[in-house]
Amino acid sequence: MSPTVSVVLPVYNGRALLEVNLPILLRATRGRNGLEVIIVDDGSVDGTAEFLKARFPEIVLVALSSNQGVIRARNAGVAAATGEILYFLDSDVQVREGFLDPVREAFSDPSMFAVGSREVSSQTGGKIIVATPFFRFGLFGHRYVVREIPRHSFLAPFVPTSHAAYSRHKLLSLGGFDDLYRPIYWEDVDLCYRAWQHGWRVIIEPASVADHALQGTTRRLYSPVTIQSIYWKNRFLFIWKNLRDRALLAEHLVWLPLLLLGLPVVRGRAVLRGFAGALGQLSEALGKRRRDAGKPAVSDREILNMFTRRA
């Protein structure tokens, strides 16, 4: 019997996108047993909630009284969901027919944590863009490699939550999406990294396809400098919270003064703004680090080596 699925879609002032993309989602999932569609309205002021109630009474609507940010909106969707699999979508994503069946099949593996759909956008050019993690100059990062579309699923360091499914049980055991990374960025990387530390699997399934128009709310809510500042804040917090290898952590601390002197020259003042923001959340990050204390099943170096070899 196929596992039950909850499709969770957070939205903020996204009525125009939902008018186009929600009917496509409902057609692609029509007639499938054990499936629910949950829309989390994150305090929209464009009439999104009223529009959904009038046009799509079949969906489950979770209406937040004020804008909480996408991380908290996703967690609100998790709390309302009943499915064994949670498939997250962004409002600017159009799923393709049959996107869900290979995802469901992948979760027959008991070690599966997350399954990402293959993204199609103007940036992919008929190929697939694969993230490869690295640790250099004391910092975690990801480079992106363009490759031909593989015939079979493949391991991934993380999957973007704009079009990916998670095991509800495993996600809840990790505490959901970590609000440390508020308001955006790195929360999906963090979640999948901790899953790998537990020895669970994260894959991309090319047979599941989603068109990403890249017209979400981030650029409407934040300036480019603010977006970069948030990115750097969360990049530092990710290391302080998750890095367990003592040698790699020492390398980070040795390089940190030089990074703070040199990176702003090439990356702009957003680096220093991000570092200041990360310092403001340092105690919170260390508290969560202590909460997750213990030797991981898979080490930092093992995770890095796994994907470095594939690159």
DSSP 8-state assignment for residue 145: E
Confidence of residue 122 (pLDDT cuts 50, 70, 90): low
Q: Give the model confidence (pLDDT) of 190-230 as tens digits.
A: 999 999 999 999 999 999 999 987 656 676 777 889 999 99
Contacts of range 221-229, beta carbons closer than 8 Å, 24 or more positions apart:
221/12, 222/184, 225/268, 225/269, 225/270, 225/273, 227/184, 228/267, 228/268, 228/270, 228/271, 228/274, 229/270, 229/273, 229/274, 229/277
| CA-wise closest residue to 156 among 148, 171, 145, 168 | 145
Confidence of residue 31 (pLDDT cuts 50, 70, 90): confident
Q: Give the model confidence (pLDDT) of 36-79 as tens digits.
A: 999 999 999 999 999 999 999 999 999 999 999 999 999 999 99
pLDDT of residue 310: 42
pTM of structure: 0.93
| CA-wise closest residue to 228 among 279, 274, 276 | 274
**Token digits for 214?**
């890249």
Helical ranges in 67-208 per DSSP H: 70-80, 101-106, 168-173, 187-197
Dmax (CA) of the chain: 58
**Lowest mean pLDDT segment, chosen from 58-62, 228-232, 258-262, 293-297:** 293-297
Percent of the chain with pLDDT strictly greater than 70: 95
**Token digits for 140?**
């975690």
| CA-wise closest residue to 112 among 152, 174, 155 | 155
Instruction: Compare 127 and 116 and report the one with higher pLDDT.
Output: 116
What are the structural domain ranges in the chain?
220-293
Q: Give the model confidence (pLDDT) of 129-151 as tens digits.
A: 888 899 999 999 988 888 888 88
Can you state the angle between helices 246-267 and 270-280, rounded to 10 degrees? 140
